[in-house]
Amino acid sequence: MWRLALTVVFAFTSLAASRAGTAHPRFAGSWRMDPARSESAHQDVPIGLSTMVIRMNEAGVTIETRRDATENSPEFHESLSFAASGAETVSTGSSGGMVKGRAHWDGAKLVTETVREIQGSTVTTTYVHTLSADGREMIVDKTLTVQHGYMGMSATNVGKGRDVFVRVVSR
C-alpha cells in the first residue's frame, strides 16, 4: 500500500516538475529587422525599416510593430495583443479597423494568427516566430492569404516570406 502511495506521489511530482520546466522562449524585447536577410525588404513594394517590441506576461503577448515610411509605403504602427489561453482577441489595426487574433505555442515557436478586412477582402496572416539558439536573432516566417474570390491559375492569393530580426541591446 505504501509503495503504491509513494509511486502516485512520485508520478505527480515528476509531472509537475516537467511542466514547470517547459517555460517558453523569451521573445520579449526590442527587435530590429535585418533588411539584408529579410524578404519583406526586397518584395515588389519594399517596406521601410521595421522594428518590433514584444511584451510577454502571464496574460499573453503584445506585439508592437513600427515601420518607417519609404517612397512607396507609408509609415506603419500597430500594436496587437494575444491571450495566453489561445482565446480570440480583438485589437485595433494600423488603419483603425478591427483585427481578430489568436496565439499559441508550437513547441518553442510562438505562432500568431490574425484576420482583418482590407478594402473589402478578408486578409489572414500566420506568423511563426523562432528564436536562434543564443536568443540574439528571431526568424519570422510569414504567410498572408487574401480571400479575394478570384479564380484561375493567375489568381494567387497566398504570399509567404521570411524576415530576420536582431535583438536590440540597451546600453
* pLDDT tens readout for residues 62-120: 999 998 888 877 888 999 999 999 999 999 988 889 999 999 999 999 999 999 998 88
Specify the higher pLDDT residue, 127 or 5: 127
Residue 13: is its pLDDT beyond 60?
Answer: no
Residue 4: is its pLDDT beyond 50?
Answer: no
CATH class, 28-167 region: mainly beta
Q: Are 100 and 116 in contact (CB under 8 A)?
A: yes
Domain ranges of the chain: 28-167
Worst-scoring range by mean pLDDT, 92-96, 151-155, 157-161? 151-155
Distance CA 143, CA 141 (A): 7
pLDDT at 169: 82
Average pLDDT value over all residues in the chain:
83
3-state secondary structure of 6: helix
pLDDT at 51: 94
Residue reference for cell 496565439: 103
Mean pLDDT, range 1-28, rounded to an integer: 48
pTM reported for the whole predicted model: 0.80
Residue 2: is its pLDDT beyond 50?
Answer: no
pLDDT at 154: 64
Q: Are 52 and 34 in contact (CB under 8 A)?
A: no
pLDDT-based confidence at 20, cuts 50/70/90?
A: very low
Tens of pLDDT, residues 120-137: 889 999 999 999 999 999
Q: Are 6 and 141 in contact (CB under 8 A)?
A: no
Strand partners, 56: 61
